[in-house]
Amino acid sequence: MTGFRNLFDREPDGRWAAPGRVNLIGEHVDYAEGLCLPFAIAERTVVEVGARTDGRVRLQSAAEGEGWEGALDAIGPGSPAGWAGYAAGVLWALREAGHSVGGIDLLVSETVPLGAGLSSSAALECATALAVNDLFGLALDRRELAAACIRAENDVVGASTGGMDQAASLLSTAGHALLLDTRDGSTRQVPFAPADDGLRVLVIDTRVRHHLADGQYGERRAAVEKAAATLGLHSLRDATLRDLDALDGEPLRRARHVVTEIARVREAVALLDDGRLQDIGPLLDASHTSLAKDFEVSCRELDLACETARASGAFGARMVGGGFGGSAIALVPVSRVDDVATSVRDAFTAEGLRQPEIRRADPSEGAHRL
């Protein structure tokens, strides 16, 4: 790998890390003012950054193709395209919010697995935001930084994602899941330590790659917003199942996912608060069914991973993230971890599918300077 010094002919001012995330439950509700319960994982993105005084921006990544170089003023909606937009977009969003930000040299030296549904894009945004905040003395709090990251993704990259991933990367703490209320941005750290209960969260990466800017995600978001408008509501947050009687067909199914998923988050949090982690299994399963049947964002590989994990000893399993590929999680007793992993691999082989990548997810700390 080409180091910072070789690329930029100088030393970085520092290194900043931001983790990927797994969402325990509360999927596809963060753009409907819903509740979600993500946690930070150990996989992280690391950026090495040096401040510049001439308004130039140079971006390179060890894992991606071409870098980008340009002026701060050249950054805006759609520019730069590709991975560099996530990092550059943060500079743009901070300037749009009125902050005085200079140019930077930035190398992405380590990354959350790309396209696995573990929020590599948010991790890059959040690591960049933290670096820029420190280097230019902005003194913004993490919520403000998260807002800039979301703006970068929505406006510069053009992916209409909600704010869960950025909040998870910036606000998570080790040993907890983050209860995020996307209506007002408030959060609560919910104790979540699977190992203490003899449990493990496995992440099964189907290696089917998805891309959030690809249209399907935006279509789902639009459908959810349209359903709220049809019901005369600002969002589906306050809708009840009975309210949905006014809908039918596809709009009904989309809205039903959101309403039932928000209710499942509340139930899951109550169980965690009660020290009954193992009992959230059925909620994970119900979440997956709702995402697959009502929201239609699963795929054959995600369904197979979940079904097989359950059949071989997981208490529950569901797809995570935007869907159409990426990863599933399974809540598994430690004694069954090997069985579950072997069964899932065998099932993929039997169906002629690419081998999934299986890793453990431990609730880890949020973004920080190294």
Pick between residue 212 and residue 329 the one whose CB is nearest to ligand GLA.
Answer: 212
Q: In whole angstroms, how close is the CB of 164 to ligand GLA at the nearest point?
A: 5
Pick between residue 94 and residue 265 the one whose CB is nearest to ligand GLA.
Answer: 265
Cβ–Cβ < 8 Å for 35, 287:
no
The dihedral over CA atoms of 43, 48, 51, 57, expressed in degrees to the nearest 10, equals -80
Q: In whole angstroms, how close is the CB of 121 to ligand GLA at the nearest point?
A: 8
Annotate 117-133 with DSSP letters as a single string.
Answer: SS-HHHHHHHHHHHHHH
Residue (of 221, 297, 295) closest to 253 by Cα position: 295
Active-site position among 165, 205, 285, 294: 165
Query: Nearest residue to ligand GLA, using CB?
Result: 161
Torsions phi, psi for 291 (to 5 deg) = -65, -35
Cβ–Cβ < 8 Å for 56, 71:
yes
Identify the residue whose tokens are 């690809």: 214
Q: In whole angstroms, how close is the CB of 54 to ligand GLA at the nearest point?
A: 34
CA 105 to centroid of chain Cα atoms: 26
Cβ–Cβ < 8 Å for 129, 90:
yes
Pick between residue 99 and residue 256 the one whose CB is nearest to ligand GLA.
Answer: 256
Q: In whole angstroms, how close is the CB of 136 to ligand GLA at the nearest point?
A: 26
Residues that bind ligand GLA (CB under 6 A): 23, 27-28, 30-31, 119, 161-162, 164-165, 212, 321-322
Pick between residue 119 and residue 290 the one whose CB is nearest to ligand GLA.
Answer: 119
Q: In whole angstroms, how close is the CB of 320 to ligand GLA at the nearest point?
A: 8
35-36 sheet: strands from edge to edge: 35-36, 176-181, 187-191
Residue (of 125, 116, 52) closest to 83 by Cα position: 125
Identify the residue whose tokens are 């949905």: 244
Identify the residue whose tokens are 């947050």: 237
Q: Is 165 a catalytic residue?
A: yes
Pick between residue 117 and residue 281 the one whose CB is nearest to ligand GLA.
Answer: 117
Catalogue the active-site residues: 165
